[in-house]
Amino acid sequence: MMQRAQDPRTVAGVTVAWVIIVNKPFYPFYVWWLVGSGVDISTLTLVSLPFFLAIPLIAGKFPFAARLALPVIGTLDTVFETVIFGRASATLLFLAPCMALALVTFHPTEKWWQRGVACFIFVCFVVSWWTIGNPIFSWSEGQLATLLNINAFAVASLMAFICLRYSGMASPT
Protein backbone atom coordinates (compact mmCIF):
# COMPACT_ATOMS: atom_id res chain seq x y z
CA MET A 1 0.00 0.00 0.00
CA MET A 2 2.91 2.34 0.67
CA GLN A 3 4.17 3.39 -2.73
CA ARG A 4 6.78 5.90 -1.64
CA ALA A 5 8.76 6.74 1.46
CA GLN A 6 6.50 8.29 4.04
CA ASP A 7 7.26 10.63 6.87
CA PRO A 8 7.49 9.10 10.36
CA ARG A 9 4.22 10.67 11.55
CA THR A 10 2.26 9.13 8.68
CA VAL A 11 3.87 5.74 9.23
CA ALA A 12 3.07 5.93 12.96
CA GLY A 13 -0.53 6.91 12.21
CA VAL A 14 -0.90 3.99 9.82
CA THR A 15 0.43 1.69 12.53
CA VAL A 16 -2.17 3.02 14.99
CA ALA A 17 -4.87 2.55 12.36
CA TRP A 18 -3.80 -1.09 11.85
CA VAL A 19 -3.91 -1.73 15.60
CA ILE A 20 -7.50 -0.42 15.64
CA ILE A 21 -8.42 -2.40 12.51
CA VAL A 22 -7.07 -5.64 13.95
CA ASN A 23 -8.67 -5.17 17.38
CA LYS A 24 -12.07 -3.77 16.43
CA PRO A 25 -13.61 -7.09 15.28
CA PHE A 26 -12.91 -8.57 18.74
CA TYR A 27 -15.00 -6.00 20.62
CA PRO A 28 -18.32 -7.87 20.17
CA PHE A 29 -16.58 -10.99 21.52
CA TYR A 30 -15.42 -9.06 24.60
CA VAL A 31 -18.99 -7.92 25.13
CA TRP A 32 -20.27 -11.48 24.70
CA TRP A 33 -17.67 -13.00 27.01
CA LEU A 34 -17.58 -10.34 29.73
CA VAL A 35 -21.05 -8.76 29.62
CA GLY A 36 -23.12 -11.71 28.47
CA SER A 37 -25.65 -9.88 26.34
CA GLY A 38 -25.81 -7.08 23.81
CA VAL A 39 -23.62 -8.84 21.29
CA ASP A 40 -25.99 -8.04 18.44
CA ILE A 41 -25.96 -4.32 19.22
CA SER A 42 -22.19 -4.33 19.79
CA THR A 43 -21.61 -5.53 16.23
CA LEU A 44 -22.67 -2.03 15.15
CA THR A 45 -19.21 -0.91 16.27
CA LEU A 46 -17.87 -2.61 13.13
CA VAL A 47 -19.54 0.04 10.93
CA SER A 48 -16.43 2.22 11.24
CA LEU A 49 -14.02 -0.54 10.20
CA PRO A 50 -13.97 0.41 6.48
CA PHE A 51 -13.21 4.02 7.40
CA PHE A 52 -10.23 2.99 9.53
CA LEU A 53 -9.14 0.64 6.72
CA ALA A 54 -9.15 3.59 4.31
CA ILE A 55 -6.37 5.26 6.31
CA PRO A 56 -3.55 2.87 5.34
CA LEU A 57 -4.98 2.64 1.83
CA ILE A 58 -4.73 6.40 1.21
CA ALA A 59 -1.54 7.04 3.17
CA GLY A 60 0.78 6.35 0.23
CA LYS A 61 -0.69 9.00 -2.04
CA PHE A 62 -2.29 11.33 0.49
CA PRO A 63 -0.27 11.25 3.74
CA PHE A 64 -1.83 14.42 5.14
CA ALA A 65 -5.34 13.08 4.50
CA ALA A 66 -4.45 9.85 6.30
CA ARG A 67 -3.02 11.72 9.28
CA LEU A 68 -6.07 14.00 9.41
CA ALA A 69 -8.49 11.10 9.04
CA LEU A 70 -7.19 9.11 11.99
CA PRO A 71 -8.30 11.41 14.84
CA VAL A 72 -11.42 12.54 12.95
CA ILE A 73 -12.65 9.01 12.23
CA GLY A 74 -11.76 8.01 15.79
CA THR A 75 -13.81 10.91 17.13
CA LEU A 76 -16.85 10.14 15.00
CA ASP A 77 -16.57 6.45 15.90
CA THR A 78 -16.43 7.37 19.59
CA VAL A 79 -19.57 9.50 19.38
CA PHE A 80 -21.36 6.71 17.48
CA GLU A 81 -20.36 4.14 20.09
CA THR A 82 -21.48 6.45 22.87
CA VAL A 83 -24.92 6.56 21.25
CA ILE A 84 -24.93 2.74 21.22
CA PHE A 85 -23.56 2.12 24.73
CA GLY A 86 -24.59 5.30 26.54
CA ARG A 87 -22.52 7.76 28.49
CA ALA A 88 -22.21 5.46 31.52
CA SER A 89 -20.19 2.95 29.47
CA ALA A 90 -17.28 5.42 29.34
CA THR A 91 -16.89 5.18 25.58
CA LEU A 92 -16.31 8.94 25.55
CA LEU A 93 -12.92 8.17 27.11
CA PHE A 94 -11.82 7.17 23.60
CA LEU A 95 -11.70 10.87 22.82
CA ALA A 96 -8.47 10.99 24.87
CA PRO A 97 -6.51 8.93 22.31
CA CYS A 98 -8.12 11.00 19.56
CA MET A 99 -6.86 14.17 21.23
CA ALA A 100 -3.43 12.58 21.72
CA LEU A 101 -3.34 11.78 18.00
CA ALA A 102 -4.28 15.38 17.22
CA LEU A 103 -1.29 16.40 19.31
CA VAL A 104 1.31 14.13 17.73
CA THR A 105 0.22 13.39 14.17
CA PHE A 106 0.53 16.83 12.60
CA HIS A 107 3.68 18.60 11.42
CA PRO A 108 4.55 22.04 12.81
CA THR A 109 3.42 23.65 9.55
CA GLU A 110 -0.03 22.10 10.04
CA LYS A 111 -0.74 23.76 13.38
CA TRP A 112 -4.04 25.26 12.21
CA TRP A 113 -5.26 21.83 11.17
CA GLN A 114 -4.10 20.52 14.52
CA ARG A 115 -5.98 23.25 16.37
CA GLY A 116 -9.07 22.66 14.26
CA VAL A 117 -9.06 18.94 14.97
CA ALA A 118 -8.55 19.57 18.69
CA CYS A 119 -11.51 21.97 18.71
CA PHE A 120 -13.60 19.47 16.71
CA ILE A 121 -12.86 16.73 19.25
CA PHE A 122 -13.71 19.02 22.15
CA VAL A 123 -16.98 20.17 20.57
CA CYS A 124 -17.93 16.53 19.91
CA PHE A 125 -17.23 15.77 23.56
CA VAL A 126 -19.35 18.66 24.85
CA VAL A 127 -22.26 17.92 22.53
CA SER A 128 -22.10 14.20 23.35
CA TRP A 129 -21.82 14.83 27.08
CA TRP A 130 -24.90 17.02 27.13
CA THR A 131 -27.08 15.17 24.62
CA ILE A 132 -26.27 11.46 24.90
CA GLY A 133 -27.57 9.78 27.99
CA ASN A 134 -29.16 6.38 27.87
CA PRO A 135 -27.91 3.75 25.45
CA ILE A 136 -30.04 2.36 22.64
CA PHE A 137 -29.76 -1.06 24.29
CA SER A 138 -30.95 -1.62 27.83
CA TRP A 139 -27.87 -2.55 29.87
CA SER A 140 -28.06 -3.33 33.58
CA GLU A 141 -25.92 -1.36 36.04
CA GLY A 142 -23.58 -4.33 36.38
CA GLN A 143 -23.24 -4.65 32.61
CA LEU A 144 -22.51 -0.93 32.30
CA ALA A 145 -19.85 -1.27 34.99
CA THR A 146 -18.27 -4.10 32.98
CA LEU A 147 -18.41 -2.03 29.80
CA LEU A 148 -16.78 0.85 31.67
CA ASN A 149 -13.95 -1.49 32.73
CA ILE A 150 -13.52 -2.86 29.20
CA ASN A 151 -13.45 0.64 27.70
CA ALA A 152 -11.18 2.17 30.36
CA PHE A 153 -8.66 -0.65 29.87
CA ALA A 154 -8.87 -0.31 26.07
CA VAL A 155 -8.34 3.46 26.25
CA ALA A 156 -5.35 3.08 28.56
CA SER A 157 -3.89 0.44 26.25
CA LEU A 158 -4.38 2.59 23.16
CA MET A 159 -2.90 5.65 24.87
CA ALA A 160 0.15 3.63 25.94
CA PHE A 161 0.56 2.30 22.40
CA ILE A 162 0.31 5.81 20.90
CA CYS A 163 2.92 7.08 23.36
CA LEU A 164 5.26 4.20 22.60
CA ARG A 165 4.75 4.45 18.83
CA TYR A 166 5.34 8.20 18.62
CA SER A 167 8.13 8.32 21.21
CA GLY A 168 11.38 9.76 19.99
CA MET A 169 9.82 11.84 17.22
CA ALA A 170 10.63 15.52 17.26
CA SER A 171 7.80 17.30 18.99
CA PRO A 172 5.61 19.49 16.79
CA THR A 173 6.59 23.01 17.82
Over range 70-99, report the average pLDDT.
96
pLDDT of residue 5: 54
Helix or strand or coil: residue 167? coil
Q: What is the pTM of this model?
A: 0.91
Is the model's pLDDT at 6 over the cut of 80? no
pLDDT of residue 140: 87
Is the model's pLDDT at 72 over the cut of 90? yes
Helix or strand or coil: residue 45? helix
Distance CA 14, CA 12 (A): 5
* All structural domains of the chain with their residue ranges: 8-166
pLDDT of residue 2: 42
Task: Identify the burial level of 40 via C-beta atoms within 10 angstroms of its C-beta, where 0-12 means exposed, 13-18 middle and 19 or more buried.
Answer: exposed
Identity of residue 79: V
